[in-house]
Structure 1
């Protein structure tokens, strides 16, 4: 039987690819998006789009109620919503630290907490948190982003210990440089510098990250929990 899948930040980039992959596999997929219209291809594929800012607890609650009414309790949660506010630490406004932590880390906490009740009742569930290679080895100019993504590892591993006896797995995917709108905004010099650090000498596609996430939610991965899986072309090797 198909499962109820929720992908936060599913309107573009990695989240979009994840939603498509689950929809093509016949799952009942819902995505959250903060603004604008949901992607037409996902709507045409049968995905439910709900407007939700993960920094707002009431919006998270309303989004889950909508998804549950249409698709049933969430069986698979992919927490992908995130933002960046890059700057050197010395020049970084404290508000930019707070905004990134509030979305990337606290926002993930909110959706994870809300999904837990249904998974506890069902005594099963699959959770994947989307972190970053930056959260594992750091990046100059991204102290706020790196801290938020590193925090997801501790969150996931603690949650995995709490929920393992209840049949729920929780893992982390840590993408490296992925061909999305974010990396397309890099200058040619920045892009070349990034590629020089990647043994496979290319960017990942969003579909490659989505495939890893789908595996971690499959029956084949039922004995994997608390793991951090890099999808980075070898960029963060050793972490």
Structure 2
């Protein structure tokens, strides 16, 4: 039985990922500031704010002390706010960077200490196709997701051959975060621009994380895996509502 930590696993991609590992018999711990809305069979929730470096370190150490090892850590916790660059505030930007980028860095760093001592482990994270291209109204979010891919490559170089890393860059996924930010008209517009004709389900992204943590992926490290239904294949997808803006 592997010991698995998934951050931000109370909803969306994180929840689906935690439940996928739990179904295989793994011992799964969910680091999230919010409890899951409904019970998660086989998944234990710990209240952890990934932006709090001290709290992350304490939580990772607690899991390791209890279980004796860490096998897989999925840094999934993330937030986004739709806003233009001219309206972006320092507080909003720092919050997103603290959670989406520094939260991944800290969780991976703490887990890596234990994994290097045991000479094996897998570090995974949720990036985004937004980190691969320009996308309006999400400047801070886009930058953090590009940063996650850079962390993935750097950790791979420093921790190989004992610890593997990979990040998954989803395209449009029908998560509570997506539904909160987009109207139905916007969702329909995005679907028309995706070759697959739809958003992904969180469970489809979870399956990629499960594969990356499996022996079948043991020769993969430092890689960013795009799961987007062909959205970025032809560089034809444009964002919703990209009309010109002026600084007045």
**TM-score, structure 2 as length reference:** 0.90
CA deviation map 1:30-50 (0-9, x unaligned): 011103x335431xx222211
* Contact 1:50–1:66 (CA under 8 A) maintained in structure 2: no
Tell me what 1:15 maps to.
14
Q: Which is further off, 72-81 or 6-15?
A: 72-81
For the structure 1 residues 141 and 198, does the alpha-carbon distance in structure 2 shift closer, same or farther, using more than 3 Å as the test? Answer: same
Tell me by how many angstroms 1:119 deviates: 0.5
* CA pair 79-238 structure 1, distance change in 2 beyond 3 A: farther
Counterparts of 1:1-239 in structure 2, within 5 Å, are: 2-35=1-34, 37-42=35-40, 45-165=41-161, 167-185=162-180, 186-237=182-233
**Cα separation, 2, equivalents of 1:162 and 1:69:** 25
Q: Report how many aligned residue pairs link the two structures.
A: 234
Please tell me whether the aligned partners of residues 19 and 42 of structure 2 are also in contact (alpha carbons under 8 angstroms). no
Deviation at 1:238, TM superposition (A): 6.2
Structure that is richer in helix per residue: 1
Does the Cα contact within 8 Å between 1:21 and 1:211 map onto a contact in 2? yes
Unaligned runs of 5+ in 2: 236-248
TM-score, length-normalised on structure 1? 0.94
Q: 1:220 to 1:190 in 2, by over 3 A?
A: same
Partner of 1:41, secondary structure, is: coil
Q: What secondary structure, in the 3-state scheme, does the structure 1 residue paired with 2:200 have?
A: coil
SS at match of 1:213: helix
SS at match of 1:211: helix
- Which position in structure 1 is the counterpart of 2:243? none
Q: What's the RMSD between the two structures over aligned residues?
A: 1.4
* Structure 1 residues not aligned, in runs of 5+: none
CA contact (8 A) 2:23 2:42 kept: no
Contact 2:2 2:27 in 1 (8 A): yes
Q: Is the CA contact (8 Å cut-off) linking 2:11 and 2:36 kept in structure 1?
A: no
- Write out per-residue CA displacement over residues 56-88 of structure 1, whole angstroms, 9 at most, x where no aligned residue: 112112211331233332210100001112211
